[in-house]
Amino acid sequence: MAFTIYDDVFASRLILGTAQYPSPAVLADAVKRSGTALVTVSLRRESGGGDAFWQLIRDLGVMVLPNTAGCHSVREAVTTAEMARELFQTDRIKLEVIGHHDTLQPDVFALVEAAGELTARGFKVYPYTTDDLVVGERLVEAGCKVLMPWCAPIGSARGPRDLHALRALRAAFPEIPLIVDAGLGRPSHAAAVMELGFDGVLLNTAVARAGDPAAMAAAFASAVTAGRTAHHAVPLEPRDMAVPSTPVIGRAVFA
């Protein structure tokens, strides 16, 4: 299950967010049950937790992917990334530049600009983007070695709205790690995108707001593994007509 992004090797293909959990203890339990090797942390949203929150994140024993959640401009995103690098001592950054308040859709123009600037500053940029092929190309040209397309708006739990677009993205970037970020609500959604050949998923709300976050984290971990295994097993393509599973040629005839 291990895979590599930039020069980091991750033992799990599930990335977990750290926001919205009912308590620090529940967060810690969910991280443990998920088996994740990487968690995201929003510097802007979680800074109110003070040293206790930062210590909790460090105590989880996993790698950290700071993000620029809540940023709406290139300047905001770059400044937040620099602050996160200083605080967490890592060059990894999940880049978010939001362009629409209701859907939280990325501002893809500012995203590409910020990605280029951060790459030039030595960051390993994980860009939260749409499923648009051209935007993906521009981000790769800007220096991104991973793409993180949404499958539905953040926190919507709607699951993949356009499997065709996600499949096309996978085909267009066969050598680039692709992580579905945002919109997954159920383990079956994670399995579906992993069956397309995606390299991993990033979750937050679907786990943090579940009735039992730790159990849901474990369920998503199983779904990611099942979807990845199914992809390599080459699933049957859907058919319009029935195909008998039992041959009719040579069957017994009873008079």
Asked if 249 and 63 count as a contact pair (C-beta separation under 8 A), the reply is no
| Residue 39 CB partners (closer than 8 Å, separation 6+) | 15, 16, 17, 18, 31, 57, 60, 62, 63, 64, 65
Integer Cα distance of 96 and 68 in angstroms = 5
Q: Which of 32, 94, 124, 145 is catalytic?
A: 94
What's the 3-state SS for 137-185? HHHHHCCCCCEEECCCCCCCCCCCCCHHHHHHHHHHCCCCCEEEECCCC
Nearest to 40 by CA among 50, 52, 31: 31
Two tokens, residue 161:
């709205």
Q: Are 99 and 74 in contact (CB under 8 A)?
A: no
Question: Does residue 32 carry a catalytic annotation?
Answer: no
Three-state SS string across 173-192, please?
Answer: CCCCCEEEECCCCCHHHHHH
In angstroms, rounded to a whole number, what is the distance separating the alpha carbons of residues 152 and 80?
25
Q: Which residues are catalytic?
A: 94
